[in-house]
Amino acid sequence: MIFCVTFPQWHPLRDNWIEIEAETEDKCRAAVVYMFGIRWGFIYEKSTHKPEFFPGGQAGRTINEEDGPGQQAPFNQSEYA
C-alpha cells in the first residue's frame, strides 16, 4: 500500500508530500519517524490524499518501508531535520 506523508506549515516541505510504500500504516509511521523524528504532519492512504492542496508536488522518490539505516535517503535529510 502507498501512503502519503505531509508536513506542518513551518517545515521546509510544507507544500510537498512524500510517498512511502508499506504493508501497514504502522510500518509507514515507523519509517517516517526514523527519517523525520517528530517533524512531520499526517499520513494518508494514497487513495484519500488530495494533491491539489500541495502545490510543490511529491518530494523525492517513493520510499519503501525497508529503507532505513545504511540506505540512501530519497533527498537530503539534513535540509529537513
Containing structural domain, residue 46: 13-51+59-79
Q: Specify if 5 maps to a domain.
A: no
Whose cell is 494514497? That residue is 46
Asked whether the whole model's pTM tops 0.85, one would answer no
Grade residue 67 by pLDDT with cuts at 50, 70 and 90: low
Q: Specify if 64 maps to a domain.
A: yes
The whole-number pLDDT of residue 76 equals 54
Q: Specify if 3 maps to a domain.
A: no
Cβ contact 31:18 at 8 Å? no
The whole-number pLDDT of residue 32 equals 87
Q: Specify if 1 maps to a domain.
A: no
| Spatial distance between the Cα atoms of 21 and 23, rounded to a whole number of angstroms | 7
> Residue 70: pLDDT above 50?
no
Q: Specify if 7 maps to a domain.
A: no
The whole-number pLDDT of residue 63 equals 77
- Listed in sequence order, the DSSP H helices in the chain are 25-36
Q: Specify if 41 maps to a domain.
A: yes
Q: How many domains are contained in the chain?
A: 1
| Spatial distance between the Cα atoms of 74 and 60, rounded to a whole number of angstroms | 5
Grade residue 79 by pLDDT with cuts at 50, 70 and 90: low
> Residue 22: pLDDT above 60?
yes
Cβ contact 43:25 at 8 Å? yes
